[in-house]
């Protein structure tokens, strides 16, 4: 856990951006496959058409109230509640999140720009899937990005082959800087 990060949870229940109360939008499985195996999805659907990790927390257990362990896959509930989930992953420090690329928001500055290791801005609009795994007619309401926490996850993201723009956020020191001889 990174003690510098405060995990704030809003009292309001989750809601989906622009989609009238629906939050069961599933990640296309090929995205998760491209990122390797995850130990835990802390916000998985009650009925999932496929596993997203080795273990899953659902609404029944309340994933935010449970322990998080290992490598996390996180496509969190949408809306104002998203920040609390991203804060938790930033504090945990090991995993990859999929969120809307709202780069100007306080959430993005608090938990992505200033804490993540890397971001992959996905090319085009992702089409999230229906709860039964079928494809809806429209695509997501905004561009999406994948956010890596931990150097290993940044490496996996860079090598994923997913189309988009990859940006390293944690600059490694060059040998010159390391020796103090810039």
Closest distance of CB 172 from ligand SAM, Å: 30
d(CA 44, CA 73): 10
Binding site for ligand SAM (CB under 6 A): 14, 23-27, 41, 43-45, 52, 57-59, 62-64, 75, 77
Closest distance of CB 178 from ligand SAM, Å: 39
Closest distance of CB 154 from ligand SAM, Å: 20
- Give the pairing type, strands 72-74 and 95-100: parallel
Q: Which is nearer to ligand SAM, 42 or 164 (CB)?
A: 42
Q: Which is nearer to ligand SAM, 59 or 151 (CB)?
A: 59
User: What radius of gyration do the chain's Cα atoms show?
Assistant: 16
Cβ burial of 147 (10 Å; 0-12, 13-18, 19+) is buried
Closest distance of CB 51 from ligand SAM, Å: 10
Give the neighbor-by-neighbor strand order of the sheet with 55-56: 55-56, 40-41, 72-74, 95-100, 144-149, 118-122, 164-168
Q: Which of 79, 80, 112 is nearest to 96 (CA)?
A: 112
Q: Which is nearer to ligand SAM, 57 or 108 (CB)?
A: 57
Q: Which is nearer to ligand SAM, 25 or 108 (CB)?
A: 25
């Amino acid at each position: 856990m990174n003690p510098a990060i405060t995990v704030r949870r809003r009292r309001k229940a989750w809601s989906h951006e622009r989609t009238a109360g629906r939050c069961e939008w599933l990640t296309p499985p090929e995205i998760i496959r491209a990122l390797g195996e995850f130990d835990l999805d802390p916000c998985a659907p009650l009925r999932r058409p496929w596993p997203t990790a080795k273990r899953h927390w659902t609404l029944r257990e309340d994933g935010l109230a449970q322990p998080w362990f290992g490598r996390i896959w996180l496509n969190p509930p949408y809306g104002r509640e998203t920040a609390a989930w991203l804060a938790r992953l930033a504090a945990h420090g090991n995993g990859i999140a999929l969120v809307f690329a709202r780069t100007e928001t306080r959430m993005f500055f608090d938990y992505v720009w200033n804490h993540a290791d890397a971001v992959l801005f996905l090319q085009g609009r992702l089409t999230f899937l229906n709860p039964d795994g079928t494809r809806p007619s429209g695509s997501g309401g905004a561009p999406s990005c994948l956010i890596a926490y931990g150097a290993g996850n940044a490496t996996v993201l860079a090598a994923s082959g997913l189309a988009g723009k990859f940006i390293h956020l944690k600059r490694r020191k060059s040998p010159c800087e390391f020796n103090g001889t810039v």
